[in-house]
Amino acid sequence: MNPVNYLYLSALLFTIGATGVLIRRNAIVVFMCIELMLNACNLAFVTFSRMHGNLDGQIIAFFTMVVAAAEVVVGLAIIVSLFRTRHSASVDDASLMKL
Amino acid sequence: MSPQLAAYTTSTGEAFQFWVLATVAVIGALCTVFMKKSVHSALSLAGTMIVLAVFYLANGAYFLGIVQIVVYTGAIMMLFLFVVMLVGVTAADSLKETIKGQRWLALLCGIGFGVLLFAGIGNASLKEFDGTGRANANGNVEGLASLIFTKYVFAFEITGALLITAAVGAMVLTHRERTERARTQRELSEQRIREGKHVPPLPAPGVYARHNAVDIAGLLPDGTPSELTVSKTLRERGQIRDVSAEALGDLKALEQRAEERLERTAIEPTTFKRSEEASK
Amino acid sequence: MENLIALLIAAPLLGAAVLLTGGRRLDRVGHWIGTLLSAASFVFGLILFADLLGKNAEHRTLIKHLFSWVPVAGFQADATLRLDQLSMTFVLLITGVGSLIHLYSVGYMEHDERRRRFFGYLNLFLAAMLLLVLADNYLLLYVGWEGVGLASYLLIGFWQHKPSAATAAKKAFLVNRVGDMGLSIAIMLMFATYGTFAFGPVLGHATDASEGKLTAIGLMLLLAACGKSAQVPLQSWLGDAMEGPTPVSALIHAATMVTAGVYLIVRSGAVFNAAPDAQLAVTVVGAVTLLFGAIVGCAKDDIKKALAGSTMSQIGYMILAAGLGPIGYVFAIMHLVTHGFFKAGLFLGAGSVMHGMNDEVDMRKYGGLRTYMPVTFVTFGLGYLAIIGFPGLSGFFSKDKIIEAAFAKGGTEGWILGGAALLGAAITAFYMTRVMLMTFFGEKRWQPDENGNEPHPHESPRVMTIPMIVLAVGSVFGGAFFSIGDRFLHWLEPVTGHSEGHSPVSAWTVTGATMVCLVIGVGIAWAQYGRRTVPAVAPRGSLLTRAARRDLLQDDFNHVVLVRGGEHLTRSLVYVDHTLVDGVVNGTAAGFGGLSGRMRRLQNGFARSYAVSMFGGAALLVAATLLMRAV
């Protein structure tokens, strides 16, 4: 097997995550799909690290994880406060950005 | 450190592992997207992440593999589950599309994007795989550590600052400033008396022979369920179970059975009829 | 000595500044301040004149560099004054006649509560006019040119409470603007051609430029001269300008400002000499105007308007002479000076008559005034004799020379121009005699006005008669003084140059013909107005008379051609603007509006819709990257 298959898997997972962001309305699930996309990227980074024979790709993946953790914290806080004010976790309910 | 990692192809074992686990990962990802309940989505995602952790390990990223399991699956996903618990099941969980054409557009974009990515990877000349053997010679964690604390030290420090900012930000976002003293029970009851509605405590949820749960509304004398008996949170989530028709249904079934056995028609119970209408 | 040149201008300028900003506390002495400073300027002029006379003819040019006005590389404009024989002549005329008219105005404007302001304007005019004739480059000349335009505007509209005066002022200003455009274009052409607009380089090297360019410059200068000197086709403002106080008409609209066009053409002689086409245009304009003005002058019953027509006609003579080239420059200026004397005298006389007749201007309501105001009669009569060219008086010498010069032009042109000048002389004799007869002879025709105030004609105070007497003396002896021994010719020749033409007829023949014309003109006038009583109400008259009363339809012409044409042009432009321009603009706006209305549906507020756009964009980016790699 060619390790390139890891990249194909990564691309597939990324696409699934992106599609999920587009079709789900529950903010939490949308958020989870974003996490899925991030993880797909991480897989690609790790594969690249193996491909080039150095650890920089893994470092980037590590930083991605840290940033993702920060993002999750803030994102979930936003979802919670959104739910408090609107009693809904639907991203479509927060649709004030229009004329 | 297996020498195969440096080769162009992988061992049969890894290939087998990849094909099995990749299937699991894709199924998990699809479940994440398409499961109706967010709890299920979260669990599917956790599964996918664990599979990914295995892939990290297989690719020689031992530290990342462990971190993936401990931090991502263990901490972040659990955080998700906590929030799901807090927010609960909402109408947003429905998979029915409300924006016209959104689903088709999303599908089109997704397929297009996927095809393009695949084409890109297919076109790239990815023949050489050096493998992580040399890089991991002194141990994966040590290698990562030496990079983090030398080459990427500034990024690392800044990430630390980012984490602190995020923690503070999360607190600020979820913090609710109490602008007045919490009212005591006495004050609340005095207010109730003054307003004159619901002077007694709110009615308890329905307690029946076969049901004893907080999500079941108590029935009024005419047989209609009273929403007041269910807690506000459940009411808002639309999670009220209506059992008002069950007793009548049972009665009807009983009468039918009695009819069959006694071979006679029952007198039409007019009193039941009214309550049936009301329960509709 | 050069510093005195600056003082020439500074004195009246100081007067204008003091009088216009001094406020009411100067009301009692303001007119004397103005007169004094004007006289001071005249005295400076006399000192400078004496200084020039003491020098050789070749060295009679004084240059005074005041300051560098626009010191930009490639565009040098200096405030430099030049005093040579030509400007000296003008300085003496302007300050001399100006001072006399200041003095006259002290009496004439005695009862006007805004007298101080009037003298301020007069001083402003003097300063601007002196700057005009003393400037050493065309740009500075332009400053003076605009300055006299401003003073003229202010003084025509001095009685601005009268709508007619306000309108006349505006009309003069607007018509002058057309001429000013010509001057500014001429200056620009000079700059484009020679890289400078100083007199020395431009006139010294005039022939460096192609004839086409010189013709263009010449025609633009002619346009400027037409505007300022009320020549056809920009003549229409002068008649209305008589709405101003009579001293203004005498000083600005007869003696000095309106002759600025003649000065401009004579000063730019080098340009015109090298551009025969432009010169021809100048002579044509002069000939047409001298007849035009004369005919208008014949029909007017308003004494000032009759004199205004006469002014137009006499300036036509000057322009004609200036257009003849070196043959005529000297005589143009000489006629200008003598005309300055007798026309100022005539206007002052008219003002004196009006002063005695409750500001009545209709000559049909005068008559027999010679016994009531003898000094005015005598001075006016001497001016009259001078203007018609009575032998021995000023006009005889100067006008005769111009007619001779016109014949000396040679060829068919010479005959036509000379004939026109002769005809003009006859008409001049006719209308001036008419004015004289209607005003001072015959029976008295004045009636009490609607308030029952019957005019009591009386002689004007001495402060008014003295200037009239002085000017009358100038009118009588000026021409002879200049002509005997060709004094004026020798004086001006170094500046303007002079050449004798080859006249097909002898000088005596021309003089004889002029005399015959004179006698015919006077005779017809006597037959019409001397022997018969003048009707108090104007008869209907012939078609020509009626047209002449309407200034030969100049205003109608302007109205039909310019105003109507302008209105039509404006209307069609407005139509184009409304349909085409606005259509395009509004159509674009409507298009964008409609497009936006449709596009805004994309902004549905749903984050997921935006996410689709982002995702689609990302897909496009990936596609573009792949395409770029594939190429």
Q: What are phi and psi of C402, to 5 degrees?
A: -65, -45
Residue of chain C minimizing CA distance to B98: C606
Residues 559-618 on C with a CB inside 8 Å of B are 604, 606, 608-609, 612, 615-616, 618
CA distance C307 to C351: 11
Q: pLDDT tens-digit profile of C102-155? A: 999 998 888 888 889 999 999 999 999 999 999 999 999 999 999 999 999 999
**First-last CA distance in chain B:** 71
- Looking only at the bridges linking them, the beta strands covering B225-226 and C75-83 are unpaired
CA distance C75 to C97: 37
CA distance C288 to C335: 18
pLDDT at A36: 94
Residues 32-91 on B with a CB inside 8 Å of A are 32-33, 38, 41-42, 45, 48-49, 52, 55-56, 59-61, 63-64, 67-68, 71-72, 75-76, 79-80, 83-84, 86-87, 90-91
Q: Measured over all CA atoms, what is the biggest interatomic distance in chain A, rounded to whole angstroms?
A: 54
Report CA-CA distances (Å) from C163 to B99, C167, C244.
Answer: 74, 6, 12
Task: Say if A32 is an interface residue toward chain C (CB within 8 Å).
Answer: no
Contacting residues for A9 by C-beta, under 8 A, at least 6 apart: A43, B18, B22, B25, B26, B55
Q: Which chain A residues are Cβ-neighbours of B60 within 8 angstroms?
A: 49-50
Residues 67-96 on A with a CB inside 8 Å of B are 67-74, 76-81, 83-84, 87-93
Give the DSSP H/E element, type plus range, for residue C393. none
pLDDT at C275 over 60: yes
Q: Which chain B residues are Cβ-neighbours of A12 within 8 angstroms?
A: 26, 29, 114
Q: Measured over all CA atoms, what is the biggest interatomic distance in chain C, rounded to whole angstroms?
A: 115
Residues 17-76 on A with a CB inside 8 Å of B are 17-20, 22-29, 31-33, 35-36, 39, 42-43, 46-47, 49-56, 58-59, 61-63, 65-74, 76
Q: How close A24 gets to chain C, by Cα (Å)?
A: 9
DSSP state of C592: H
Number of domains in chain B: 2
Residue of chain B minimizing CA distance to C606: B99
Per the domain annotation, does B178 fall within a domain?
A: no
Task: Say if C619 is an interface residue toward chain A (CB within 8 Å).
Answer: no
pLDDT at B91: 53
pLDDT at C156 over 90: yes
Establish how many alpha carbons lie within 13 A of residue C275's alpha carbon, considering only the half-sphere containing its beta carbon.
29
CB spacing of B94 vs A25 below 8 angstroms:
yes
pLDDT at C452 over 80: no
Q: How close C605 gets to chain B, by Cα (Å)?
A: 11
Per the domain annotation, does B249 fall within a domain?
A: yes
Q: pLDDT tens-digit profile of A12-48? A: 999 999 999 998 888 899 999 999 999 999 999 999 9
pTM over 0.80: no
What residue ranges do the domains of chain C occupy? 302-537, 559-630
Q: Cβ of B212: how many Cβ atoms within 10 Å? A: 10
More confident residue, B178 or C192: C192
- Residue pair C220/C181 in contact (Cβ under 8 Å)? The answer is no
Mean pLDDT per 10-residue interval, chain B, length 280 residues: 50 89 95 89 93 92 92 89 79 71 89 91 77 80 90 92 92 83 87 82 70 76 78 73 77 86 66 50
| Cβ-based contacts under 8 A for chains A and B | 260
Q: pLDDT tens-digit profile of C536-585? A: 777 777 888 888 787 777 788 888 888 888 899 999 999 998 999 999 99
- Residue pair C397/C483 in contact (Cβ under 8 Å)? The answer is yes
pLDDT at C604 over 60: yes
CB spacing of B109 vs C619 below 8 angstroms:
yes
Contacting residues for C566 by C-beta, under 8 A, at least 6 apart: none
- Among candidate residues B33, B45, B29, the one with its CA nearest the CA of residue B103: B33
pLDDT at C164 over 60: yes
Give the CATH fold of the A4-86 domain. Helix Hairpins (1.10.287)
pLDDT at B191: 86
Q: Which chain A residues are Cβ-neighbours of C607 within 8 angstroms?
A: 91-92, 94-95, 97
CATH number at residue B50: 1.20.120.1200
Neighbours of chain A (3+ CB pairs under 8 A): B, C
Here the tokens at position C72 are 């930009």
Task: Say if C612 is an interface residue toward chain A (CB within 8 Å).
Answer: yes
Q: Provide the pLDDT confidence category of residue C369 given band limits of 50, 70 and 90.
A: confident
Q: Which chain C residues are Cβ-neighbours of A98 within 8 angstroms?
A: 600, 603-605
Q: How close A99 gets to chain B, by Cα (Å)?
A: 17
pLDDT at C248 over 50: yes
pLDDT > 90: percent of chain C:
51
Q: Which chain A residues are Cβ-neighbours of B52 within 8 angstroms?
A: 39, 42-43
CB spacing of A22 vs C615 below 8 angstroms:
yes
pLDDT at B70: 92
- Looking only at the bridges linking them, the beta strands covering C75-83 and C62-72 are antiparallel
pLDDT > 70: percent of chain C:
100
Contacting residues for C484 by C-beta, under 8 A, at least 6 apart: none
Q: What is the mean pLDDT of residues C181-186?
A: 94
pLDDT at A3 over 90: no
CA distance B175 to C15: 83
pLDDT at B217: 79
pLDDT at C287: 93
pLDDT at B89: 62
CB spacing of C622 vs B120 below 8 angstroms:
yes
Q: Give the residue from B62, B88, B114 where a domain finishes.
A: B88
DSSP line for A2-49: -THHHHHHHHHHHHHHHHHHHH--BHHHHHHHHHHHHHHHHHHHHHHH
**Domain extent for B83:** 15-88
Report CA-CA distances (Å) from B204 to B201, B219, B228.
Answer: 9, 10, 8
Here the tokens at position C201 are 């380089």
Task: Say if A25 is an interface residue toward chain C (CB within 8 Å).
Answer: yes
CB spacing of C619 vs B112 below 8 angstroms:
yes
Q: pLDDT tens-digit profile of C202-220? A: 888 888 888 899 999 999 9
Q: Provide the pLDDT confidence category of residue C350 given band limits of 50, 70 and 90.
A: very high
